[in-house]
Copies of this chain bind each other. A is one copy, B any other.
């Protein structure tokens, strides 16, 4: 089933992004009439008068008080780095970094990656506020609940329309979590959610570029700022999420309202969170695992004539890139994923490096992979058949990939994944300390030690 229900989807639209960029970059200075020049000055004057005139308005006061909470600048940690920046920037950068390898967590019902927007905003704020570990964990559970519930309410229509649901619900989770961490009351929290509702982030067209990880980062920053604004009395519609011209109805064609509140406080969406064993889009995971199993069964790349995959429809829609040019693009290539599984038996960040993606043997192998859609195959399953040069055929069926609800990663596997990611930056002994600090986060008096351990 094709999932593109965008009302006017048109793959052949003219290249206006480049056309406007060329115009902006190259049009000559003052390349217009006297009348245009005059209107530019009138526009400037009128804008300036309006801004000066409202300089003491309560909206300006509240906004200024909120941005002044970002002072002094070096107040929050950039994870894995020595630099410190203001907390809104820390939320942005940590949100970007945590999603850059496409290796973060996944709420399987909605394909939301919930921690990026929520945890990035919370850790930055918690550092500045000196919040307790208990408060951070509470805010994390509640914030993730809000963004994933809104995802449940709109999925799949919202995603089908073209929104990258991680960023386009994430600012609500970040706002909710930060509101909780700030101790906002119900009316203020309503305002925080309302302010955040106006700032959804993320287009699926950006997949394969750095703007994909920008989505959780910008959502983290927007959510944090929304909570800071609400704390200082900034107002929004108390029906911003549900109104006819509010968030859900503007960004989705379908809204299952009951999902927002069914079993609220009894069922927690973080329970359905999962973690990826492979550093790429989750829909490729069954295929990678199948090829890694072929390798375990003694099949080597040299023996391969071709590999046939029967996959869920989303696999080719999301990850159908046949000839990825670099590591980032390879994360959207089921063909590269299979090659990595068969050559290396794994697919961590190293197997998605530019060098590996362009290695001759890897390129040759991925060209031997043929994938076809089979509507009977579940999203976490695959049927892989290797046709060998000696005429033999080896088949592997993955019914539930590792990292699925049915086969979650163990704590030990999660620790090993952490070491694989963070050892090159912090070293193994420091990573052991950091793993301990995370496991004991709820009882920490504040998050400053945890944040300090994450700096090299």
Contacts and interface: CB of A to CB of B under 8 A. Distances in A.
Given A36-B271, A67-B92, A250-B161, A190 B85 contact: no
Contact of A137 (B41, B190, B209, B260): B41
Interface in A69-100: 70-74, 78-81, 83, 85-86, 89, 92-94, 96-100
A32 to B, nearest CB: 5
A195 to B, nearest CB: 5
Copies in the complex: 2
A20 interface: yes
A71 B74 CA distance: 9
A219 B11 CA distance: 27
A425 interface: yes
A15 B260 CA distance: 10
A59 B422 contact: no
Interface stretch (A180-188, A284-292, A338-346, A365-373): A180-188
Contacts of A30: 134, 137-138, 442
A239 B17 contact: yes
Nearest to A179: B24
Given A13-B243, A19-B260, A199-B218, A141 B40 contact: yes
Given A27-B265, A39-B271, A78-B64, A49 B421 contact: yes
A60 B203 contact: no
A186 to B, nearest CB: 4
Contact of A210 (B62, B179, B186, B211): B62
Contacts of A254: 8
A28 to B, nearest CB: 9
B257 A14 contact: yes
A224 interface: no
A18 B236 CA distance: 12
A275 interface: yes
Interface stretch (A304-312, A355-363, A432-440): A432-440
Interface stretch (A294-302, A379-387, A390-398, A410-418): A410-418
A261 interface: yes
Contact of A198 (B25, B81, B211, B235): B211
A192 B25 CA distance: 11
A315 interface: no
Nearest to A96: B63
Contacts of A58: 210
B60 A96 contact: yes
B235 A43 contact: no
A8 B189 contact: no
Q: Indicate the size class of the contact surface on chain A.
A: 35 or more
A105 B186 contact: no
Contacts of A275: 42, 46
B55 A206 contact: no
B60 A93 contact: yes
A236 B210 contact: yes
Interface string A400-418: 0000000000010011011
Interface in A210-265: 210-211, 213-215, 217-218, 222, 229, 234-250, 252-255, 257, 260-261, 264-265
A80 B55 contact: yes
A150 to B, nearest CB: 8
A446 interface: no
A255 B214 CA distance: 26
A72 B71 CA distance: 10
Contact of A246 (B92, B167, B205): B205
A120 interface: yes
A44 to B, nearest CB: 5
Given A120-B51, A234-B214, A247 B203 contact: yes
Given A64-B78, A199-B218, 15 more contacts: A10-B255, A17-B193, A17-B237, A20-B264, A23-B264, A24-B177, A36-B141, A44-B137, A46-B115, A54-B100, A162-B245, A194-B211, A205-B237, A211-B236, A214-B236
24 contacts: A7-B7, A13-B239, A13-B257, A16-B260, A17-B241, A18-B190, A19-B260, A19-B264, A21-B179, A23-B142, A24-B193, A43-B144, A45-B415, A47-B116, A52-B434, A53-B424, A60-B96, A63-B93, A63-B96, A67-B93, A72-B73, A203-B245, A206-B237, A210-B235
